[in-house]
């Protein structure tokens, strides 16, 4: 049986309602985007999520299966209403959001053929399902299964930054690879020094590498001995939807290529500075391709430069 990477978290449909014209639906959710990105980069992927057996749920199922992502048993729930995020646009295209989202994931198995586990965003934040996600990544870490985590904070759901920061640290302590954005950091630790906050995360639990993305300014990586930076390639940006998820998927795929995911404790820490820079370079390249086209549309291997992950 082929080992698979398990991505755990929310799937939803973004509904855009303009002042004039028809509403538009787009399949979304950060974990779903990471799962699609991983599979397009040839990593066998299972998405652990919750969707209904309604039209929107079938749209999600069709979308992920088109990229060869497998929905885990129990992800499609009869009688359930698929989650939505509705953006009501005014005359200036400013959006007011309305969410119909319930995240009540039950306790999940950790199959023997699990290559690694990724989680983040609302699936790692919203109660009561967060408890099941934390339980899963804790068991994975105890079994020395590779875990990655991207908090991907959604301001609409951020009620208590201090409590959310505590929960981020709790979840992140189980992850060997932890990625966050500069926007996440400003929301959670507005007065914190960027490198100091990242090193605080690096010092917790089993974490071996922390990466901070900076949008058009590129990304930074923090290891035990170094701070490394790469610039983002110049592009004509169509939109930035899903860019961070493409970045995350590209990092995991490269680490899988290099044997780090299956290499056990210390394999990520053992990468030298040049290899960490190459990891960042490959990730910003994948994210840039996503930004160059509409929506969360991560690249396949064939769409990446022949020299990837090198520029």
Residue 281 lies in a domain: yes
Mean pLDDT, the chain, as a whole number? Answer: 94
What six digits make up the tokens of 219?
A: 């990304």
Please report which confidence band the pLDDT of residue 311 belongs to, taking 50, 70 and 90 as the band edges. Answer: confident
In a domain, 308, yes or no: no
- Tokens representing 134 are 């934390």
Percentage with pLDDT > 70 across the chain: 99
**Token pair listed for 259:** 């044997």
**Residue 310 forms part of a structural domain:** no
Average pLDDT over residues 304-310: 95
Cα dist from 280 to 178, 245, 285, whole Å:
13, 14, 9
Alpha-carbon torsion angle 293, 36, 220, 233, nearest 10:
-30
The pLDDT assigned to 258 comes to 98
Range of the domain at 111: 4-303
Confidence of residue 95 (pLDDT cuts 50, 70, 90): low
Task: Supply the pLDDT for residue 309.
Answer: 96
Q: Please state the domain count of the chain.
A: 1
**Would residue 311 count as lying in a domain?**
no
Q: Is residue 165 part of a domain?
A: yes
Q: Is residue 309 part of a domain?
A: no
10 Å CB burial of residue 268 (0-12, 13-18, 19+) is buried
| b/e burial code for range 156-186 (CB count within 10 A of at least 16 → b) | eeeeeeeebbebbbbbbbbbbbbbbbeebbe
Helix, strand, or coil (residue 122): helix
Tens of pLDDT, residues 270-303: 999 999 999 999 999 999 999 999 888 999 999 9
CATH of the domain at 233: 3.40.1190.20
**Is 106 inside any structural domain?**
yes
Q: What is the pLDDT of residue 93?
A: 65
Q: Are 220 and 229 in contact (CB under 8 A)?
A: yes
- Residue-level pLDDT at 22: 78
Which segments within 18-159 are labelled E, that is strand?
24-28, 45-48, 51-52, 70-71, 76-77, 84-89, 95-100, 114-120, 146-150
Q: 15-24, 53-62, 98-107 — which is least confidently predicted?
A: 15-24
Does 277 reside within a domain? Answer: yes
């Amino acid at each position: 049986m082929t080992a698979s990477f398990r991505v755990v978290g929310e799937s939803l449909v973004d509904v855009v309602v303009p002042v004039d014209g028809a509403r538009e639906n787009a399949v979304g959710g950060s974990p779903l985007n990471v799962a699609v990105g991983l599979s397009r980069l040839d990593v066998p992927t299972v998405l652990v999520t919750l969707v209904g057996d309604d039209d929107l749920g079938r749209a999600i199922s069709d979308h992920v299966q088109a990229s060869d992502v497998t929905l885990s048993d129990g992800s499609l729930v009869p009688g359930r209403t698929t989650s939505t995020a509705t953006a009501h646009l005014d005359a200036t295209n400013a959006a007011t959001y309305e969410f119909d989202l319930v995240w009540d994931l039950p306790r999940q198995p950790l199959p023997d053929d699990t290559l690694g586990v990724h989680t983040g965003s609302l699936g790692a934040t919203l109660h009561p399902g967060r408890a099941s996600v934390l339980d899963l990544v804790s068991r994975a870490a105890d079994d020395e299964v590779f875990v990655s985590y991207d908090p991907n904070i959604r301001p609409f759901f951020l009620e208590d930054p201090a409590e959310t920061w505590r929960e981020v640290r709790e979840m992140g302590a189980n992850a060997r690879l932890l990625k966050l954005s500069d926007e996440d950091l400003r929301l959670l630790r507005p007065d914190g020094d960027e490198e100091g906050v990242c090193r605080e995360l690096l010092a917790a639990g089993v974490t071996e590498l922390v990466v901070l993305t900076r949008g058009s300014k590129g990304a930074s990586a923090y290891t035990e001995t170094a701070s490394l930076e790469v610039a983002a390639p110049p592009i004509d940006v169509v939109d930035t939807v899903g860019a961070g998820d493409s970045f995350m998927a590209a990092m995991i795929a490269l680490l899988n290529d290099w044997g780090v995911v299956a290499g056990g404790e210390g394999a990520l820490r053992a990468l030298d500075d040049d290899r960490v820079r190459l990891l960042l370079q490959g990730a910003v390249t994948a994210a840039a391709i996503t930004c160059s086209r509409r929506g969360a549309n991560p690249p396949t291997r064939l769409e990446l430069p022949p020299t990837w992950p090198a520029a």
